[in-house]
Structure 1
């Protein structure tokens, strides 16, 4: 009957190990996950290699999408540099016609195009692209960069 006492002793040891793991394992997982995400700079000085850390605030706020007028302005500024201001102004007018909600931003976009045209083409050449898009705001942007 010596054999009957060994299985119960093994079960008791297995239970103790299981309970210990049940208590310790979640703590270890949380700590290892936290340490994997963050790193503390103990030297106190700034280093050239920055470390990104996660915070509860960053996780809870959704990423902001860019406003349609900002996307359009950036696309047209790129188009102005790659092609010419006339093409960008034509596309601005088409976008405003297709999406009337952009009309209130037309003036600021056209001025930004005018300022960029002066920087890219010079004042006199930039003025030659002016047309009555958004109440001559492009010309206003060109004029603001000249003075």
Structure 2
């Protein structure tokens, strides 16, 4: 019996199933797990905000579950109309501004600031002369004053 046990141990070592093989298998399993965990922990400790504060981000931060505040309707409308101005022309954006103010009277108090922002954006995109050609009496000619104010 001792002969067969000795023979079996020698044959296992010859085929690479000795203690070194077991250690290599353990290392092959443990090493990737450790690398992933250490990488995850390192990423949570990097200051991604770009500010110079020494705050450290952690995975258990309470700000993670905080929802973003909803944007005001006038801000959403302004952004949508500025995108329309870029894609189509200021006339289309002004028409949609007037339609939105007529549909939702609560936006009337923001109409002038939105029209002025459209006027400034139109000058950037089309130049002052062409931008002025799109002016119309939307929100007390605020578009025209935005064009003139940006150009001056």
In the alignment, is residue 128 of structure 1 matched against residue 100 of structure 2? no
Counterparts of 2:42 and 2:69, CA distance in 1: 26
Contact 2:46 2:57 in 1 (8 A): no
Out of 101-110 and 51-60, give the one that drifted further. Answer: 51-60
Residue in 1 that maps onto 2:73 = 68
**1:53 Cα shift?**
4.1
Report the Cα distance in structure 1 between the residues aligned to 2:95 and 2:140, rounded to whole angstroms.
Answer: 14
In the TM superposition, what whole-angstrom CA distance separates every residue of 1:110-138 from its partner, at most 9, and x where no partner exists?
Answer: 00000000010010110010001000000
TM superposition shift of 1:61: 3.6
Determine the C-alpha separation between the residues in 2 that align with 1:89 and 1:127: 13
TM-score of the aligned structures, taking structure 2 as reference length:
0.62
Report SS of the residue matched to 1:74: helix
Mapped pair 1:111 → 2:86: no
Asked if structure 2 preserves the Cα contact closer than 8 Å seen for 1:37 and 1:54, the reply is: no
The separation in 1 between residues aligned to 2:78 and 2:88, in whole angstroms, is: 15
Q: Separation in 2 of the partners of 1:71 and 1:109?
A: 11
TM-score with structure 1 setting the length: 0.64
Structure 1 residues 11-46: Cα deviation after superposition (integer angstroms, max 9, x where no partner): xxxxxxxxxxxxxxxxxxxxxxx95983368xxxx9
CA distance in 1, matches of 2:97, 2:46: 49
Please tell me whether Structure 1 or Structure 2 has the larger radius of gyration of its CA atoms. 2
RMSD after superposition: 2.8
How far is 1:56 from its partner?
4.2
Give 1:65 deviation, angstroms.
1.2
| Residues 49-92 of structure 1: per-residue CA shift (max 9 Å, x gap) | xx964454414643211111111101100100111100000000
